Amino acid sequence: MSAMSIGVLRLTQTTIGKKVIMAITGLIWVGFVMFHMYGNLKAFAFMTGPEYDSATQHFNEYAETLRTFGEPVFGYTHLLWGARLVLIVALVLHVWAAYSLAQESYEARSTKYVKHKMLKATFASTYMRVSGVIILVFIILHLAHFTWGIPGIHPDFRPGEAYHNLVVGFQAYGNAFAIFYILAMCAVGLHLYHGVWSMFQTLGLNNKIYTMPLRILAVIVALVTTIGFITVPLAVILGIVS
């Protein structure tokens, strides 16, 4: 067994190692979430000028570009599937590390004194677990709704027509999914705030000088992402995007 393999194995066996895994995998997902949020905002392309007369065409072209990106060096959807595999692995590791740390925390709280001293930390950790479960459920429903187009979840899914699928998907069932999406994005925002801040702490980036700027950065990341995501379903509900 190589030294690198031994190092990775030890990383998965220690508390700090699991926190590092959570920080790194969380960073991967923060990057993806912000990129995804930016892409969703292309639904407002009709507001950017005459070069985008058709928001439908522009949004559909953006969705198709995700599949053709890298051609002709890479084949159709090759880079997209590469990114998906990275995200899947990161998600599995993130969930595993979170569950493992939660188990360690539960086993460590064996006396009332310890419970009292860890009350604040336990509240934050409990919230992160709850929001994490909400987000995990949302990811599955989101894929079933807008990526797989499962009948009964999306009422009129059309492959290759991303803009149509977006609008109809949010309008369906009395805007029920749009409302659920907005609530889920609020959970994502709160999870992002605590997660990004914890990531800075785990990686040792916070100190007396950087603590406040980093906390502000965590707030900005959470707010920008949340607001960016909820504007699209809100615009569909209000008839701005249709």
Closest CA to 192 of 134, 121, 144, 122: 134
* Whether residue 184 has pLDDT greater than 90: yes
* Whether residue 205 has pLDDT greater than 70: yes
- 64-114 pLDDT, tens digit per residue, is 999 998 888 889 999 999 999 999 999 999 999 988 988 887 776 655 544
First to last CA, the chain: 58
Q: pTM of this prediction?
A: 0.84
Residue at token pair 């595993």: 96
Residue 154 DSSP SS3: strand
Residue 84, CB half-sphere, CA atoms under 13 Å: how many?
Answer: 10
Q: Which domains does the chain have, with CATH numbers?
A: 14-237 (1.20.1300)
What is the chain's mean pLDDT, rounded? 84
